[in-house]
Amino acid sequence: MTRTEVVARFAPSPTGRLHLGHAYSALFAREAARAAGGRFLLRIEDIDAGRCRPEFDAAILEDLAWLGLEWPEPVRRQSAHMADYAAALDRLDGMGLLYPCVLSRKELAAALSAPHGPPGPGAAPADTDRLLPRAERARRIAAGEPVALRLRMARAAALAGPLAWRDLDAGEQRAAPEAFGDTVLARKDFPASYHLAVVVDDALQGVTLVTRGADLFEATHVHRLLQALLGLPVPEYRHHRLLADAAGRRHAKRDGAPTLRALREAGRTPEEVRAMVGFGGAGR
Ligand code: GLU
């Protein structure tokens, strides 16, 4: 029997400089590929036009190369692949699984927390098209207000039936995407969302092992559902721990975690930085 080649990837968003948490995640993916004699890919997840910046994109490549990573194949940038996401959206739309939502985040939050409003505070949004009077909704769409496209979760989950996915560390998981409610698959400002793009890209790039932080574990339930609906292959998963600093806080851009550039400018070597995140040692 021939075994499928392992293809792993690192998929950062160019919304800031890479920090130690990213170094860990990138090296984790690279090592997962290397340990299996497979390939390592780099993808830039730049669909959030408001937060992504070209200079951060360039900085990611520079920082990763400095760290000693290599990605022999061309980098895939999501912003250049709208047609792929549009095709996936068309397919889901053809199955009657999408609907346009004009509500802003604020309006949605207000509607969901209204005393008698459906379905109650904290609940996942479902049927957001019912939160506005039908005529008002039609008027806003006709007036050209930006719309997001949401997945009819209950219908989609029923159509797909029971699904499972495998996390190589946590074991077999029964997919439970319903908790996400009618999740957005096309944003108002870009005709795709993280969930849609990541699933389409992993399939198109032939990724067989998705490695990423434990904060995205739950999202995998939605990804598994989308794979089933779109007829895509199902990769295996590993959700790694989130690196914490000496004070036990998770490394994050917003907390001013030291960037790889700052460490480099302070005279740290790539070997030292790799060792700081637990990927030191001979032969690297
Ligand atoms: N672009 C995502 C992030 O930077 C990672 C997505 C993934 O690995 O699936 O958090």
Question: Residue with the nearest Cα to atom 10 of ligand 1?
Answer: 12
The pLDDT tens digits for 177-204 are: 999 999 999 999 999 999 999 999 999 9
What's the 13 CA to ligand 1 centre distance in angstroms?
Answer: 7
Question: Residue with the nearest Cα to atom 2 of ligand 1?
Answer: 12
Three-state DSSP state, 63:
helix
What's the 79 CA to ligand 1 centre distance in angstroms?
Answer: 15
The pLDDT tens digits for 12-33 are: 999 999 999 999 999 999 999 9
What's the 133 CA to ligand 1 centre distance in angstroms?
Answer: 36
Q: How far apart are the C-alpha atoms of 232 and 186, rounded to whole Å?
A: 19
**How many C-beta neighbours within 10 Å does residue 17 have?**
18
- CA distances 207 to 6, 10, 222, 236, 257, Å, are 7, 11, 17, 9, 30
Q: Residue 130: pLDDT above 50?
A: yes
Residue 184 near residue 150, CB atoms below 8 Å: yes
Token look-up 């509500």 returns: 103
Q: Rank 62-76, 117-131, 236-250 by mean pLDDT and report only the highest.
A: 62-76
Pocket of ligand 1 (CB under 6 A): 11-13, 45, 198, 212, 216
What's the 167 CA to ligand 1 centre distance in angstroms?
Answer: 16
Peptide bond connecting 125 to the previous residue in cis, omega within 30 degrees of 0 = no
Mutate to test the pocket of ligand 1, among 13, 41, 165, 243 (most ligand atoms within 8 A of CB): 13
Residue 111 near residue 121, CB atoms below 8 Å: no
Q: What is the DSSP letter of 244?
A: B
What's the 138 CA to ligand 1 centre distance in angstroms?
Answer: 35
The most distant pair of C-alpha atoms in the chain lies apart, rounded to whole Å, by 67
User: Which pLDDT band holds residue 165 (cuts at 50, 70, 90)?
Assistant: very high
- CA distances 87 to 81, 84, 109, 196, 197, Å, are 10, 5, 30, 11, 11
**Mean pLDDT for all residues in the chain:** 91
Residue 186 burial (C-beta neighbours within 10 Å; 0-12, 13-18, 19+): buried
pLDDT at 283: 45
Please state, for a pLDDT cut of 70, what percent of the chain lies above it: 92
The pLDDT tens digits for 222-263 are: 999 999 999 999 999 999 999 887 677 777 666 667 899 999
One-letter amino acid of 142: A
Q: Is the pTM of this model over 0.75?
A: yes
β-bridge pairing 236-240 and 209-213: parallel
